[in-house]
Amino acid sequence: MKPRFFAVVVWLVLHATLNAQTPESFFPHHIGDRWDYQDLNTGQIFTMVLTNDSIGADGSHYLFYNNSSEPAYRIATSLNDFQGSTNPNFNYLRYKLVADS
């Protein structure tokens, strides 16, 4: 009987942990989070470290990397992630954090 009980407890813990994650948790948006990526055309490796963030009047979350004065990304309250700028007309959709896999 113990092995079955253990399996149920493990399943409950895993299920609760996975369901507790928000869509934002899969996008590096905490101070100190880091992006490492490679340009496929040049082979050059880039690193971006989140150094600052702010919340806009509309509730959007602005992300600033490498001490830049302009945000690199804006996470809207709809959990759509747009690239750059505080200009409200700049809506280049990069990621949908609530999209199906």
pLDDT of 66: 93
Examine residue 16 and state whether it is found in any structural domain, yes or no: no
pLDDT of 32: 93
Q: How many domains does the chain have?
A: 1
Examine residue 43 and state whether it is found in any structural domain, yes or no: yes
Examine residue 87 and state whether it is found in any structural domain, yes or no: yes
Residue 74 near residue 63 (C-beta atoms within 8 A)? yes
How far apart CA 99 and CA 96 sit, in angstroms, is 5
The region, left, alpha or beta by phi > 0 then psi within -120 to 50, assigned to residue 13 is alpha
Examine residue 49 and state whether it is found in any structural domain, yes or no: yes
93 Cβ neighbours under 8 A, 6+ residues apart: 80, 81, 82
The model's pTM is: 0.66
Q: What residue numbers bound the domain in which 42 lies?
A: 26-96
Examine residue 5 and state whether it is found in any structural domain, yes or no: no
Q: Among all chains, which residue has been given the structure tokens 């999209």?
A: 99
Per-block average pLDDT, block size 10, for the chain (101 residues)?
41 41 71 89 92 91 91 87 72 80 62
